[in-house]
Amino acid sequence: MSRLDSFIRRMTAQRDILDQVCAEVAKMDGPVIELGLGNGRTFHHLRERLPGRRIVAFDRALAAHASSIPEPENLVLGEIRETATRFIGIDAALVHADIGTGYEDRDAVTSTWLPDLTARLLRVGGIAVSGTPLDHPRLQRLPPPPSVPADRYFVCRRV
């Protein structure tokens, strides 16, 4: 499969999963945590799907399109492993983590700290969506939508 095909599949999977979980998150109190603002495309999508919901976005540096920049109080810059720790206990309804690199060794390092951080950011019943695995005793794996290939994206509920 070409990298273009793979990219299209990843974007389609991301959109389908976010649409599926937003229907549930809409009925739940709690902010949304966007780990990896990047260009801001998924932030923009979440803002459309969950109007009025607080979305706190994190990245090393601001590189988002002008249409997709959070309010200053909801933009947190720096290393997520450090900055997001300050938000533990925020009882998020949704944590969306899009910080995979496509490099196995780098993503393996992320997997050593992201699952525990995610579990601590979520409220009980809250949902996590991630491009890298979220193996953690408090994160119960949920099936992704049928259009999403297995092990491309990970959806979990905080138990």
Among 8, 19, 39, 88, binds ligand SAM (CB under 6 A): 39
Main-chain phi, psi angles of 13, to 5 degrees: -60, -45
CA 60 to chain CA centroid, Å, is 15
Instruction: Kindly write out the interface string for residues 69-108 of this chain, putting x where it contacts ligand SAM by CB under 6 A and - elsewhere.
Output: ----------xxx----------------xx---------
Q: Which of 91, 111, 106, 109 is nearest to 154 (CA)?
A: 111
Q: Which is nearer to ligand SAM, 29 or 79 (CB)?
A: 79
Distances (CA, A) of 54 to 40, 45, 68, 147: 15, 13, 14, 28
Q: Residue from 36, 70, 115, 144 that binds ligand SAM (CB under 6 A)?
A: 36
Binding site for ligand SAM (CB under 6 A): 36, 38-42, 59-60, 63, 79-81, 98-99
